[in-house]
């Protein structure tokens, strides 16, 4: 299996790393045939706080049929996150993952491009909840039924969450959807997340 980890300009590394770690543990220690492929609009993507990261691939080379899931970390407006988040090429990619009914997992404000793509219209989701709920209000403007008080919301194939702290739990929920709840729970305990329970 392959998971496409899409990194937009200004992405937050704290929200990137849980996907790498959880799926790395799954592959190395729990015999899961699963691989993370990083991707961006450019080969080098500068994350929040100015940290450059080299991607495995760029968006124009991606065929959704080659992947089992999409994972998207959120990011910071002041580091250019929304300059790429609403790019039509990325929105088309989201729509295609949804059309093929493949899991889409996002952390924090990464729910906003998913909402803008239209795939969350009349569906449940959440996003960053502090600062007066401004990001949740923006998500609602895309026709999304925002659940403001749940840290993680899953509506069919789409996982959303409301802050960086949720990152490992989003990754574990995505893993559970791909390899099964039992294996995901064993991995969670091995990583110290004894409180992990799959959401629905």
Q: Is the pTM above the cut of 0.85?
A: yes
Entry field: residues in the chain: 200
The pLDDT, as a whole number, for residue 197 is: 86
CB 102 within 8 A of CB 130: no
- What's the rounded Cα separation, in Å, for the pair 35 and 1? 6
- What's the rounded Cα separation, in Å, for the pair 154 and 126? 9
The pLDDT, as a whole number, for residue 200 is: 53
Measure Cα distances from 70 to 4, 37, 133 in Å: 5, 10, 26
Residue 198 banded pLDDT, cuts 50, 70, 90: confident
- What's the rounded Cα separation, in Å, for the pair 165 and 91? 25
pLDDT tens string 127-168 = 999 988 899 999 999 999 999 999 999 999 999 999 999 999
Please name every residue paired with 154 in a beta bridge, in sequence order, or none if there are none: 159
CB 100 within 8 A of CB 64: yes
């Amino acid at each position: 299996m392959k998971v496409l980890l899409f990194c937009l300009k200004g992405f937050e590394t704290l929200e990137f790393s849980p996907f790498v770690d959880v799926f790395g543990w799954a592959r190395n220690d729990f015999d899961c045939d699963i691989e993370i492929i990083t991707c961006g609009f450019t080969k080098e993507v500068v994350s929040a706080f100015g940290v450059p990261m080299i991607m495995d691939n760029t968006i124009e080379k991606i065929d959704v049929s080659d992947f089992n899931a999409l994972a998207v970390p959120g990011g910071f407006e002041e580091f250019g996150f929304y300059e790429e988040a609403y790019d039509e090429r990325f929105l088309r990619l989201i729509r295609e993952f949804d059309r093929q009914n493949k899991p889409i997992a996002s952390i924090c404000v990464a729910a906003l491009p998913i909402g803008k793509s239209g795939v969350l219209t009349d569906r449940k989701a959440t996003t960053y909840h502090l600062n007066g709920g401004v990001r949740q209000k923006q998500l609602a403007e895309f026709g999304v039924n925002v659940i403001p008080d749940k840290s993680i919301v899953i509506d069919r194939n789409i996982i959303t969450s409301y802050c960086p702290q949720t990152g490992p739990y989003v990754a574990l929920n995505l893993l559970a959807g791909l390899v099964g709840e039992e294996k995901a729970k064993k991995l969670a305990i091995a990583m110290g997340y004894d409180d992990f329970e799959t959401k629905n």
